[in-house]
A and B are shown apart, each in its own frame.
Chain A
Amino acid sequence: MKHLRSIAEIGADAVLRILDLTDHMVEVNQRPNPKVPALRGRTVCNLFFEDSTRTRLSFETAAKRLSADVMTFTVKDSSVNKGESLRDTIETIAAMGVDAFVIRHKSSGVPWQVSNWTTASIVNGGDGWHAHPTQALIDAYTVRHALGRTGGLDGVRVAIVGDIRHSRVARSNIEVFTALGADVTLVAPPTLLPPTPLAPSTADLDSVIGDIDVLYLLRMQTERIHDAVIPSIREYSTRFALTPERARRLGDHVLVMHPGPMNRGVEIMVDPAEIPGAMITKQVANGVAVRMAVLFDLLASSDALLAGVGVDGEASA
């Protein structure tokens, strides 16, 4: 795997490989000294054109635990000539010797554009409404681990609830859960569904809530009110939030997930601590291990990396 720009691009086999690799990274993170020399001498550059403290820290920690050198830039994107300045930034930093860029940008497609300008590996840390593949891998890993599975997620019923249309997390999660064989249902008002259907959808949360294994709540951006796509937050919460009544109807086995940060009182009206299947802190905890697996796969396991290097396949020593 040369880049991780979207789940669709890497496919189910690579997803499974990264989930398996994550098990090893979880073990590393449980040690008293959670650090291995695997990526010594490699440099990872975090380029955040849109700030996100938790994602940035998670990538930084992951790179450091693998002994890579880390550079982090949080760039305020104010230039009019975005394309040009972005290219300048990438080429300048790449000239310092970077093996992987982690990029977050408010415009969709930036990670693909950037890969034309550098030979380094690209990790998409979130691009516009388009994709957030590491979050999706974290969520897939969290579900797989909680269910005690080793392969895919065949037959697992996942409901993704909320603003699907403007959510890169939703897009990448639909891709990852579908790739792993889960059945995905989208729950949202029609105004918050994308124009092209990505999965079966409904506007009636109560009709699916008794029939699912995973309830995935998206963050409701309160500023959507101004776009007039929902009449009011209260109306949204009544129909789509996890209310105490709905929480009671959830079986204890149902995993409740959220990519964070939560809007308490908007999409979630109960204390997650009181939900037996709440995975929200697990998702954060798994973030570092999954991102370690991604960086290791890109910079140490990749066949593409070795193109032209003649090495015998003898592994035993």
Chain B
Amino acid sequence: MTDAKPVPKHVLHADDVRRALTRIAHEIIERNRGLDGVVLVGLQRGGVWLADALGAEIGRIEHAVPVGAIDVALYRDDIGMRPVAPSGRSELPGSIDGATVVLVDDVLYTGRTVRAALDALADYGRPKSVQLAVLVDRGHRELPIRPDYVGKNLPTSVAETVSATADGVVIS
């Protein structure tokens, strides 16, 4: 092979993902003593399964919290620079006024999706605070955004792609 394609590299396996989720669930509970007013909101599409899994884990450890989803396509800052289309429905579990919203996404990269999500959230209400949980932080931030809960910090190059599912995290 002359034009070497990167070989897909498994950096986290299903067990690692499960353990990371359990740890993040504990951290969310610890930091928000009693989980009062905590709402998990997964970012469409990659963050939704993660929010569901985190919600299940938190429910197992402490008690159930509301879980929702939000699609940020209509708030992106690159509309017109590339084709943008919503990928899933926005469904927030009731009002978020005064709630502690934990945004959940699979991979944190430039931070632009999170910025769009903050704008989108503001259209639904005024949360007391917003926190960010991600399974993988791959670096290369372009905005002043940092996660509150991280499954794994993963140094990557811009040329690589990262996919994160319940089965594991793969760099290719």
Contacts and interface: CB of A to CB of B under 8 A. Distances in A.
B112 interface: yes
B7 interface: no
Q: Which of B71, B78, B80, B114 has the most chain A CB within a 10 Å cutoff? A: B80
Interface string B73-100: 1110011111111100110000000000
Nearest to B82: A311
Nearest to A300: B79
Nearest to B71: A24
A257 B13 CA distance: 54
Contact of A33 (B79, B90, B123): B123
Contacts of B172: none
A27 B90 contact: yes
| Most chain B CB atoms below 10 A, which of A35, A37, A296, A311 | A37
A70 interface: no
Interface stretch (A109-117, A149-157, A301-309): A301-309
Given A37-B75, A38-B75, A316-B107, A302 B83 contact: yes
Contacts of B123: 31, 33, 35-36
A301 B110 contact: no
> Quick one: which of A299, A303, A316 has the most chain B CB within 10 A?
A316
A36 B119 CA distance: 9
Interface string A277-317: 00000000000000000001001111101100101011011
Interface in B110-147: 110-114, 119, 123-124
Interface string A24-47: 100110010101111100100000
B57 interface: no
Given A24-B89, A317-B111, A317-B113, A37 B83 contact: no
Interface in A1-40: 17, 21, 23-24, 27-28, 31, 33, 35-39
A59 to B, nearest CB: 18
Interface string B3-47: 000000000000000000000000000000000000000000010
A38 B89 contact: no
A23 B106 contact: no
Q: Which one of B86, B111, B119 has the highest number of Cβ atoms from chain A below 10 Å of its Cβ?
A: B86
A27 B75 CA distance: 14
A316 B46 contact: yes
A37 B119 contact: yes
Contact of B80 (A66, A303, A305, A313): A305
B75 A36 contact: yes
Contacts, number: 68
Q: From B73, B74, B83, name the one whose CB has the most chain A CB atoms within 10 angstroms.
A: B74
B74 A36 contact: yes
A301 B73 CA distance: 10
Contact of B83 (A23, A36, A66, A306): A306
A89 B46 CA distance: 47
B161 A314 contact: yes
B109 A317 contact: yes
A303 B81 CA distance: 10
Given A300-B79, A316-B106, A24 B113 contact: no
Contact of A303 (B46, B83, B90, B109): B83
Contact of A31 (B83, B86, B124): B124
B49 to A, nearest CB: 14
Given A37-B119, A316-B106, A317-B108, A28 B85 contact: no
A313 B82 CA distance: 8
Interface string A44-67: 000000000000000000000010
B109 A37 contact: no
The 10 closest A-B pairs by CB, nearest first: A317-B113, A36-B74, A38-B74, A317-B110, A311-B82, A24-B86, A317-B109, A317-B112, A300-B79, A301-B85
Given A37-B119, A316-B113, 14 more contacts: A21-B86, A24-B71, A24-B73, A27-B89, A27-B90, A28-B74, A37-B74, A300-B80, A301-B84, A309-B81, A316-B106, A317-B107, A317-B112, A317-B113
26 contacts: A24-B73, A24-B89, A27-B89, A28-B74, A33-B123, A36-B74, A37-B75, A37-B119, A38-B74, A39-B79, A66-B74, A296-B74, A300-B79, A300-B84, A301-B83, A301-B85, A306-B82, A306-B83, A309-B81, A309-B82, A311-B78, A313-B82, A316-B107, A316-B109, A317-B110, A317-B112
